[in-house]
Amino acid sequence: MKYIIITDEIGVEFPVFCLAPQSHQELATAWRRNDSLRVVSAGFVEFAADGSATVFGRSTGLNLGPRPQDARIISTFYHLTLKTAHRADQR
């Protein structure tokens, strides 16, 4: 699955994923409509059964690749999303 990492004006970074046949550049363009957001890395991600992420490859259109911290950011986002969904189901 393709991903990009976006940072906002205060430095908060978050991943955006794409399963559709879009390019990294098209995905980034959709998010860069807000001038305060900046794409800082891009690539591909695979998830293991435990939710850990492996990042690889690069975006030729954006000329960006994964950074060392991307796998940790993506795994954390994945686990927080599951926890939030689980809490919502408990209500």
Residue 1's pLDDT is what? 93
> What is the mean pLDDT of the segment spanning 6-17?
93
pLDDT at 21 over 90: no
- What DSSP assignment string belongs to 16-78? EEE-SS--HHHHHHHHTTSTT-EEEEEEEEEE-TTS-EEEE--BTTTTB---TTHHHHHHHHH
> What's the pLDDT tens digit per position in 23-62?
898 888 887 777 789 999 999 999 999 989 999 999 999 9
Written as six digits, the tokens of 49 are 């059964």
Higher pLDDT, 21 or 69: 69
Nearest to 54 by CA among 78, 80, 84, 37: 78
